Amino acid sequence: MNEKNVFIVCLICFVLFTLSGCCTRATVYGNGNRADAVRDHIGELSERQTEAAIASEQLNGTLEGAREKSENLSGELTRSREQSEKLEQSITDGKGDIDSLAAILQRIRERGCRNNSETASDHH
């Protein structure tokens, strides 16, 4: 009887071992499908990462171009400000010159009036 019990226990263990092996193989097989899906997702992520890297490089190029244009505009603004200051100084100097010319013209007119008066009195 003892041998029968050992035999039954061994038979039950064998059946359980066999059943667990089948289930494990099915699970591994299912995991193979999941592994393929994971590989596909990794492939998609790799493509997207490549696209993101390309877009990043293009954006860096665009930003660099914008920075250079900004520097150029800043330089042009500085030169324009300098030209504006020179023009303002020229206008200020020109006003002084106009005042000087007006004073000279006034003296010439005064002399002309005196000379005309002298010649007019000489002829009469």
Distance CA 75, CA 63 (A): 18
Q: How many domains does the chain have?
A: 1
Q: Which domain holds residue 65?
A: 1-89
Residue 119 lies in a domain: no
The DSSP output letter for 1 is: -
- pTM of the model as a whole: 0.42
Task: For residue 109, count other CB atoms closer than 10 A to its CB.
Answer: 10
pLDDT tens per residue, range 50-85: 999 999 999 999 999 999 999 999 999 999 999 999
Residue 27 forms part of a structural domain: yes
Considering the domain boundaries, does residue 112 fall inside one?
no
Domain assignment present for residue 108? The answer is no
Q: pLDDT for 20-47, tens place per residue?
A: 766 555 555 555 677 788 888 898 999 9
